[in-house]
Amino acid sequence: MPGPVVLITGASQGIGEAIARVFARECRGVRLALVARSGPNLRAVARRCRQSGATAEVFPCDVSEEAAVTALAAAVRKRFRAVDVLINNAGQFAASPIEKTSAADFDRMIAANLRSVFLVSRAFAPAMLRRRRGDIFNMGSVAGLVGFPGDAGYCAAKFGVTGLSRVMRAEFKGRGVRVCCVFPGATQSPSWKGSGISPARLMPAEDVARAFLDIYRLSRRTVVEEIVLRPQAGDL
C-alpha cells in the first residue's frame, strides 16, 4: 500500500529539510511533496529523500502569493491526488525593533510567516475535511508565545500563527483533521548563522523534525494541540 502524501513547505533547508529526511527514512512508502522558493536546493533535498526510499517531488512556489498557491494545489492534486499531512513550515526571520521596522519589512514578515500558513491551509484543508482525515502542522515559534525585544515583525507574525492554529483546531474539531502548532526555540538552521550563539546551545534540526513524525504516528484518537521545544542548554 502506498504511504501518506506529506506536503512540506520551506523544505529546501533547515528544519523543513530535516522533516523531509526524517519522514523519508522512517515512514514506509511516504510520498513527499517538497515546496520552497529555491528550486536547486529543493531538488537536492528530493534526491537525498529518494536515496532513503521515499517518493519525492519538488514544487517550487512562493507560498505567500495567492496565485502561486492556487497553482501549487492544482499541481499537487495532479501528481498525488490528495494530501494526508500538511506541514506549514515556510517562513523568514529578520530582527528589527519597532522604531526601525519599515511597513514593507513588517508586511514581508507577516506574508512569509502568517499569510503563507493561511493560504496553504485554505488550499488543502477542504479536501481533508471532505475525507474526514488529515493532519496539519503549523510551524510556530517561542516568539509566538513571548514577545522578544527587537523582533517586532517576526513576533507579530508568529503570534498570528498561534491564533490561526487555535481557530483551525476549533473549526476542524470532530471532523477528522488534527491541527498541531509546534513552537521551537533556537534550532540549528540558516536563521541562526552569524548570530554569535554557540551551536552547542541550539537544538539539532532533526530533534525538532522527529517531533512532527512522532506526533503524526499517534493514534487517531489523540491530538497534540501544541508542543514547545526549547534548548536544554539555555533559554533561547
Per-residue model confidence as pLDDT tens digits over 7-51 = 999 999 999 999 999 999 999 999 999 999 988 999 999 999 999
**Using 50, 70 and 90 to split pLDDT, how confident is the model at 83?**
very high
Q: Which residues contact 73 (CB under 8 A, 6 or more apart)?
A: 123, 124
Burial class (CB in 10 A: 0-12, 13-18, 19+), 196: exposed
Is the pLDDT reported for residue 190 higher than 90? no
Range among 133-147, 184-198, 221-235 with highest mean pLDDT value: 133-147
Give the separation between CA 62 and CA 9, rounded to whole angstroms.
9
CATH architecture for residues 5-229? 3-Layer(aba) Sandwich (3.40)
Using alpha carbons, select from 107, 95, 89, 105 the residue that is nearest to residue 45: 89
Q: What are phi and psi of 207, to 5 degrees?
A: -65, -40
Domain residue spans of the chain: 5-229
Per-residue model confidence as pLDDT tens digits over 57-67 = 999 999 999 99
**Average pLDDT, stretch 118-142?**
98
- Alpha-helical (H) ranges within the chain are 14-26, 39-51, 66-80, 103-110, 116-131, 152-172, 205-216
Q: What is the pLDDT of residue 187?
A: 87
Q: What is the pLDDT of residue 200?
A: 76
SS3 178: strand
**Average pLDDT, stretch 134-147?**
96
